[in-house]
């Protein structure tokens, strides 16, 4: 190429980089007037402005599956399904009983805020789905299913030890299974093991440390053609970045590591996730934004992958072949209708809808969809600590979205409440919470507003039908309301700032408990959630 054309090319590339940098600077974190599918063949990040942390993603045929950590919520380890990597629905959970991982996650203990089910991975091998994940106190676990909807096998522990996280399985072309994971309490050393044929045991003598750096975790293993790729993240001076090393032999020596993206603290460090190839051959990175402190949690974005010198650069590559955040693009697969994970529920099914996750493993005999058709019945019992929502069992929850308009309305029947019982609607995220509900002293039911134990009492409720509402927008300021006719609502309590806590974003939930006895119940007719 003549020199003058090289100059022109460099000038054009420089202009493009300047435009991309300017576009990134214009994006204010959290100001997502639009997000997800734009109904015109394009999408805007985040594609899901809600707490879907520690993502991994695979494709099986034309179907995409993603998994996300759930900490102390049950059922655990949520699984989502998509046809286009942009529009997602919750399809199942991998762990039905999280108390099998640790008794501390049961309703009578509730001791694992910030712990529980951390990051993991999903793979498809030998006509089965395989899921592996870690609990930082208990070790690594796995489960399998013939169908993504389940049933999933009871969780099986493959390593009983504290201080491990971010594991991922891999099966080579000869069928040999491997497992990679980080021992974060031992300087973040990344270990590679062979597994037995059933995937249930790590072969100790095969253990080898293949990498170590500050904060090195978020492990994934891939093989593309004849090359093994180890995907991970680590902490550099500017924050957490995505890295990769590669080798012709799975045990190395590895080339690199190569930095795949910048830390981008202004964009809350998009880092942990999975890279996946479409049927057309294009590659994408499904990631969470990993920095803590955002009340909506670690939200989900989709970035294009550009292969440069056989390295998958994430997002917009610059002259250093390092990627940066991309906020919009063409949908990978066209033709799918816009959708978001399930929210509203009329409780007409025989089983609980997939969007619901209990705060800790629920007390099974204390809730029912069958005792009153079309209603969810929550039966009250004593909390572990009086008047502490975070120690009250059987609070049923789902994720809160960070979007321009959110409105949740629940209709309650209070006829079954007993003396000492409290029931209502809550936003929470340990150690903070706020509730609006009803407290019954055996004679009178009164509206109660509670912010982490600071209680304000309101009007007497003389009817058994009660509607409760919460509204919030991009700023995360929630206003609670109540109504006795479902038409006219009265605000009650000061606006509550939704909060991040224990590695989780805000949750919206329904609670009932009784400070005095295991008696009384709350009937829930419907839960509607409007989100824009």
Tell me, yes or no, whether 409 lies in a domain. yes
The residue-averaged pLDDT of 67-73 equals 98
pLDDT at 2: 47
Last residue of a domain, one of 311, 330, 349: 330
Is 345 an annotated catalytic residue?
no
φ and ψ of 100, to 5 deg: -70, -20
Report residue 17's pLDDT band, with 50, 70 and 90 as the boundaries: very low
| Residues 142 and 264 grouped into a single domain | yes
Tell me, yes or no, whether 7 lies in a domain. no
Q: Which residue range(s) make up the domain with 497? A: 357-531
Residue 5 has pLDDT above 90, yes or no: no
| Residues 313 and 436 grouped into a single domain | no
CATH number, domain with residue 46:
2.115.10.20
The residue-averaged pLDDT of 387-403 equals 97
Distances (CA, A) of 37 to 43, 83, 302, 532: 4, 13, 11, 12
The residue-averaged pLDDT of 249-276 equals 97
Over 84-117, what HEC string results?
A: CCCCEEEEEEEECCHHHCCHHHECCCCCCCCCCE
CATH number, domain with residue 500:
2.60.120.200
Report the domain count for the chain: 2
| Residues 449 and 324 grouped into a single domain | no
Residue 3 has pLDDT above 80, yes or no: no
Sequence length of the chain is: 532
**Position with higher pLDDT, 27 vs 151:** 151
Report residue 4's pLDDT band, with 50, 70 and 90 as the boundaries: very low
| Residues 319 and 464 grouped into a single domain | no
Question: Which of 23-27, 306-310, 415-419 is least confident?
Answer: 23-27
pLDDT at 80: 98
Residue 6 has pLDDT above 50, yes or no: no
Residue 441 has pLDDT above 90, yes or no: yes
Last residue of a domain, one of 292, 313, 330: 330
| Residues 365 and 237 grouped into a single domain | no
pLDDT at 471: 98
Tell me, yes or no, whether 25 lies in a domain. no
The residue-averaged pLDDT of 247-274 equals 97
| Residues 157 and 216 grouped into a single domain | yes
Cα–Cα distance measured from residue 194 to residue 190, given in angstroms and rounded to the nearest whole number: 14
The residue-averaged pLDDT of 90-118 equals 98
Tell me, yes or no, whether 344 lies in a domain. no
By CB atoms closer than 10 A (0-12, 13-18, 19+), residue 253 is exposed
| Residues 303 and 412 grouped into a single domain | no
Tell me, yes or no, whether 440 lies in a domain. yes
Q: Which pTM was predicted?
A: 0.94
Catalytic residue among 51, 54, 165, 345: 54
pLDDT at 15: 39
| Residues 62 and 138 grouped into a single domain | yes
* 133 CB-side CA count, 13 A: 30
Tell me, yes or no, whether 335 lies in a domain. no
pLDDT at 522: 98
pLDDT at 293: 87
Tell me, yes or no, whether 30 lies in a domain. no
Tell me, yes or no, whether 3 lies in a domain. no
Extended beta strands in 393-464, E state: 396-399, 406-413, 421-429, 432-440, 445-451, 454-461
Report residue 224's pLDDT band, with 50, 70 and 90 as the boundaries: very high
What are residue 449's DSSP bridge partners?
436, 456
Instruction: Work out the mean pLDDT of the chain and round it to a whole number.
Output: 95
pLDDT at 76: 98
The residue-averaged pLDDT of 424-434 equals 97
Last residue of a domain, one of 288, 314, 330: 330
The residue-averaged pLDDT of 151-163 equals 98
317, 304 contact by CB (below 8 A)? no
Tokens of 286: 């499904």
Percent of the chain predicted with pLDDT > 90: 94
| Residues 288 and 150 grouped into a single domain | yes
pLDDT at 292: 75
pLDDT at 22: 35
| Residues 261 and 376 grouped into a single domain | no
Catalytic residue among 51, 217, 234, 448: 217
Is 104 an annotated catalytic residue?
no
pLDDT at 429: 92
| Residues 325 and 365 grouped into a single domain | no
Over 176-218, what HEC string results?
A: CEEEEEEEHHHCCEEEEEEECCCCCCEEEEEEEEEEECCCCEE
| Residues 308 and 444 grouped into a single domain | no
């Amino acid at each position: 190429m003549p020199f003058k054309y090289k100059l022109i090319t460099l000038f054009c590339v420089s202009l493009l980089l300047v435009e991309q940098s300017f576009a990134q600077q214009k994006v204010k974190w959290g100001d997502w007037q639009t997000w997800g599918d734009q109904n015109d063949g394009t999408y805007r990040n985040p594609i899901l402005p809600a707490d879907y942390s520690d993502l991994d993603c695979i494709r099986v045929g034309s179907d995409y599956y993603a998994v996300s950590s759930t900490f102390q919520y049950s059922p655990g380890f949520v699984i989502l399904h998509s046809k286009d990597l942009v529009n997602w629905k919750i399809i199942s959970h991998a762990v039905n009983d999280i108390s099998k991982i640790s008794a501390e996650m049961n309703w009578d203990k509730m001791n694992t805020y910030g712990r529980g089910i951390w990051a993991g991975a999903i793979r498809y091998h030998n006509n089965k789905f395989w899921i592996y994940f870690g609990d930082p106190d208990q070790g690594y676990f796995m489960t399998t299913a013939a169908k993504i909807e389940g049933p999933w096998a009871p969780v099986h522990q493959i390593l009983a030890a504290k201080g491990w996280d971010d594991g991922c399985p891999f099966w080579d072309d000869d069928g040999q299974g491997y497992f990679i994971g980080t021992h974060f309490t031992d300087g973040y050393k990344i270990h590679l093991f062979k597994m037995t044929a059933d995937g249930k045991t790590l072969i100790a003598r095969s253990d080898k440390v293949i990498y170590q750096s500050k904060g090195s975790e978020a492990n994934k293993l891939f093989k593309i053609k004849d090359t093994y790729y180890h995907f991970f993240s680590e902490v550099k001076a500017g924050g957490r970045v995505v890295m990769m090393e590669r080798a012709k032999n799975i045990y190395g020596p590895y080339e690199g590591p190569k930095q795949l993206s910048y830390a981008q603290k202004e964009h809350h460090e998009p880092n942990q996730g999975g890279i996946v190839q479409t049927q057309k051959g294009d590659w994408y990175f499904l990631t969470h934004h990993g920095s803590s402190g955002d009340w909506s949690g670690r939200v989900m974005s989709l970035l294009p992958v550009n292969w440069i010198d056989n390295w998958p650069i994430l997002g917009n590559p610059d002259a250093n072949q390092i990627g940066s955040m991309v906020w919009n693009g063409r949908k990978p697969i066209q033709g799918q209708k816009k959708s978001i994970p399930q929210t509203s529920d009329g409780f007409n099914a025989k089983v609980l809808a997939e969007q619901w996750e209990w705060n800790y493993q629920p007390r099974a005999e204390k809730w029912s969809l069958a005792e009153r058709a079309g209603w969810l019945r929550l039966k009250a019992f004593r909390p572990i600590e009086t008047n502490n929502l975070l120690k009250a069992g059987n609070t049923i929850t789902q994720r809160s979205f960070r979007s321009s308009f959110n409105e949740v309305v629940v209709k309650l029947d209070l006829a079954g409440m007993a003396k000492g019982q409290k029931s209502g609607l809550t936003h929470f995220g340990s150690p903070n919470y706020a509730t609006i509900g009803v407290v019954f002293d055996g004679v009178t039911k009164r509206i109660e507003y509670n912010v982490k134990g600071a209680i304000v009492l309101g009007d007497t409720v003389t009817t058994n039908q009660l509607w409760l509402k919460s509204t919030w927008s991009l700023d995360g300021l929630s206003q609670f309301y109540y109504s006795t006719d479902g038409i006219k609502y009265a605000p009650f309590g000061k606006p509550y700032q939704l909060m991040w806590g224990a590695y989780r974003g805000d949750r919206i939930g329904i609670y009932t408990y009784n400070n005095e006895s295991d008696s009384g119940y709350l009937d829930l007719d419907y839960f509607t959630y409007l989100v824009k």
